[in-house]
Amino acid sequence: MFCYQCEQTMGGKGCTKHGVCGKTPEIANLQDLLIYQLKGISCYAKQLIEKGESINKEIVKFVENSLFTTLTNVNFDVEAHVELLKESQEIKEDLRAKAPTGTYSNEATYNLSDNKEEMLKDSIKAGIMYDQDLDPDIRSLRWTVIYGLKGISAYGHQARYINYHSEQVDRFYFIALEATTNDSLTVEDLIRMVMRTGEISIEVMRILDEANTETYENPSAHKVNVKIKKGPFIVVSGHDLRDLEQVLKQTEGKGINVYTHGEMLPCHGYPKLNKYKHLVGNYGSAWQNQQKEFNDIPGAILMTTNCLMRPRESYKDRIFTTNVVGWEGVKNIKLNEDGTKDFSSLIEKALQLGGFKEDEEEKEIIVGFGHNETLSNAEAIVNAIKKEDIKHLFVIGGCDGAKPGRNYYTEFAEKVPKDCIILTLACGKYRFNKLDFGTVAGLPRLLDVGQCNDVYSAVKIASTLADAFDTDINSLPLTIVLSWYEQKAVADLLALLSLGVNGMYLGPTLPAFISPNVLQYLVDTFSLKPISTPDDDLKNSLQQH
Ligand code: FS2
Ligand code: SF4
C-alpha cells in the first residue's frame, strides 16, 4: 500500500505498511483500484459529455459516493469496497458501449475481475507510485486534483441528500478524473485543472449552503450547552444535517436527549433543527478524541460522515454508521427508497442503555455565525474597523487532529489581541471554542461560522466587507490561518486559492503530496506560508495591514 492523502501520513511521507488512520493494506489497495475504475469510467463519460450527452444521475451519484468512500476516516469495510468495485465495472461497460470508438487510457480499457483476490493483484498497477518514471510534479498535481475531488464529493453528497446538486459539479467529476489519466497534459495544464478544482469547490459549497439554509433556514446566534444531561441519549457525529433532523424527528416524545458531536456542533444554529427541545447540547470535542469520549458511555452514537476511528470493543455494539461510512461489524443504517432512514435500532439501543444518571452543571458556548448572521452586523463591523476599534480579523479554521503541534492554533487564538475578531470553522475550533474571548465593539470576539464547508460563508463575509471598503479580500485587515487534516480541507484550500486569496498560513505540516516545485509555485503565486510560531505569524499578520 501507499497512501499520502492526509496530514497524519506516516513520517510525513506516506503510509506503506498500515494506515495511521487504521486503514489496512487490503482496504488501501481496493481504494486505489476504485479510484482507477472511476478514472476509467470518466474517460468514456467525458467523450459522451463532449458529444453533448448528459450522464445518468445514478452514475454521477456512484462516482460521488465512491470518491467520498475513499476520503480519510470514512470507510474501512472490505465488503463495501468490493461491492463498489463490482458496480464500477458494470457502469464502465455500459458507458464503453455508448462512447465513441477511439483510443482510450489503460484505466478505461482495463476489465475488473469480480473476484477479490484478482482485484487485489490488479490493484498494484493502480497504486500512486506505480509509474516510477512519472514526473513528480505531474504526479503531485494529479493527486492534488483527486484529493480536491474527494473533498468536493463529500459536500456534493451532503447537498444531494437534500435534493440539491450543481450540474457544473456533476460534470466536473468526469472532466477532472479524465484529466488525471491524460498524458498529453503539461504541468501548466494541470495547474489550471487544480485551480478549476478550487472553483468547483466554491460551487459545491455554494450549493450546499443553499441546500442547508433553504431547508433549515439561516443559522443565527444560539447558545449550546456543552455539558451532559440526565437520561437516555444519542450522540450524532459527522456533518449531515438531514440525518440529524431525522434522528430528532424519530426520537420526539421518546424521552431521548440528542447531542451533537464534532462537526455537528454548528447544527444548533439552524432554526429548523434547534426547534427540537430534545436537541440538548454538544457532547465531547473533535474527532481524534472519540475513542476516549465514546468509551463505555451509556448511550448510542451515529456517525453520519467522517471522521470515524477504529471503534473500541467497549462501544462497538452502540456505534452505528450511515451513508458511505463503514467499519466491519458495525451496523450501517441504509437509505430507504423514499429518501428516509429507519433509525429504530439506534433508538432502541439508546433506550436500552439507559443514559447518563446525573445532570452536569451547564456551560454554554455560542454558535450560528454563518454569513447571514455575521453580515447582519456588517455595518457595525465596518464602522468599528474604520474607527480602529476592530484592528484585524482572523479566520482560524480547518481540521483538528491527533498529531502534536496542533496546540499552535490554541496558542494563536489566545494571543490574538483583544481588539481583533476571530472567525472559526470546522473541527479545529475545539482547540479554543470553550475559552472565553469576551467581546469587541459589541460583538463576540469569537464567531463560529460553521462546518468545514462554511469556508463559503467566511468567503462571503470577507467579500462583503471588502465591497464595503471598495477593495478586495487581500487588502482587508484579514489573515487566514488554516489547519488541515483530510481532503475536505484540500478542497477548501483550493477554493481559497482559486479566489486569489494571498498570504494564508497552512499547518500543522505541509501536504506530502505537494512536490517541492508545486510548493514553490504556491509560495510564489499566493504567498502561501507554512505556519511557524504563533508569535511570529501573529506579528507578521498584524504588520502587513
Ligand atoms: Fe473534522 Fe474530520 Fe470537517 Fe474534517 S470531523 S477533520 O473530516 O471534515 O473538518
Ligand atoms: Fe495514512 Fe492518512 Fe492514508 Fe490513512 S488516509 S493511510 S493515515 S495517509
Taking the centre of ligand 1 as the mean of its atom positions, its distance from the CA of residue 239, in whole angstroms, is 8
Which residue stretches of the chain have pLDDT < 50? none
Residue nearest to atom 4 of ligand 1 (CA): 399
pLDDT attached to residue 545: 67
Cell numbers standing for residue 161: 441528500
Taking the centre of ligand 2 as the mean of its atom positions, its distance from the CA of residue 108, in whole angstroms, is 26
Residues in the chain: 545
Pocket test residue of 324, 400, 482 for ligand 1, highest count of atoms within 8 A of CB:
400
Pocket test residue of 70, 153, 282, 287 for ligand 1, highest count of atoms within 8 A of CB:
287
The CA-atom distances, in angstroms, between 193 and each of 143, 168, 426, 511 are 11, 14, 26, 18
The 3-state secondary structure of 449-500, one letter per residue: EECHHHHHHHHHHHHHHHHHCCCCHHHCCEEEEEECCCHHHHHHHHHHHHCC
String of b and e for 408-430 (b: at least 16 CB within 10 Å)? bbbebbeebeeebbbbbbbbbbb
Ligand at minimal distance from the CA of 16 is 2
Contact 268, 365 (CB under 8 A): no
Q: Which helix (H) or strand (E) element contains residue 61?
A: helix 57-69
Please give the backbone phi and psi of residue 514, each rounded to the nearest 5 degrees, phi first. Answer: -90, 120
Taking the centre of ligand 2 as the mean of its atom positions, its distance from the CA of residue 535, in whole angstroms, is 31
pLDDT attached to residue 404: 84
Taking the centre of ligand 2 as the mean of its atom positions, its distance from the CA of residue 229, in whole angstroms, is 36
Residues with CB under 6 A from ligand 1: 262-263, 287, 306-307, 399-400, 426-427, 451-452, 485-486, 488
- ipTM higher than threshold 0.85: yes
Report the atom number in ligand 2 closest to the C-alpha of 28: 6
pLDDT attached to residue 223: 98
Pocket test residue of 4, 9, 484 for ligand 2, highest count of atoms within 8 A of CB:
9
Residue nearest to atom 3 of ligand 2 (CA): 3
What gap in Å lies between CA 233 and CA 222, rounded to an integer? 21
What gap in Å lies between CA 189 and CA 212, rounded to an integer? 34
Taking the centre of ligand 2 as the mean of its atom positions, its distance from the CA of residue 194, in whole angstroms, is 21
pLDDT attached to residue 480: 98
What gap in Å lies between CA 429 and CA 442, rounded to an integer? 22
Residue nearest to atom 5 of ligand 2 (CA): 72
Report the atom number in ligand 2 closest to the C-alpha of 73: 5
Show the domains of the chain with their CATH numbers.
10-215 (1.20.1270.20), 222-353 (3.40.50.2030), 368-543 (3.40.50.2030)
Cell numbers standing for residue 539: 506579528
Pocket test residue of 155, 451, 486, 487 for ligand 1, highest count of atoms within 8 A of CB:
486
Identity at 109, one-letter amino acid code: T
Ligand at minimal distance from the CA of 397 is 1
Minimal CA–CA distance to 156: which of 488, 500, 490, 400?
Answer: 488
Contact 151, 491 (CB under 8 A): yes
Report the atom number in ligand 1 closest to the C-alpha of 453: 3
Residue nearest to atom 9 of ligand 1 (CA): 399
Ligand at minimal distance from the CA of 7 is 2
Q: Is 88 in the pocket of ligand 2 (CB under 6 A)?
A: no
Pocket test residue of 20, 427, 456 for ligand 1, highest count of atoms within 8 A of CB:
427
Minimal CA–CA distance to 356: which of 224, 229, 225, 226?
Answer: 229
The 3-state secondary structure of 319-364, one letter per residue: EEEECCCEECCCCEECECCCCCECCHHHHHHHHHHCCECCCCCCCE
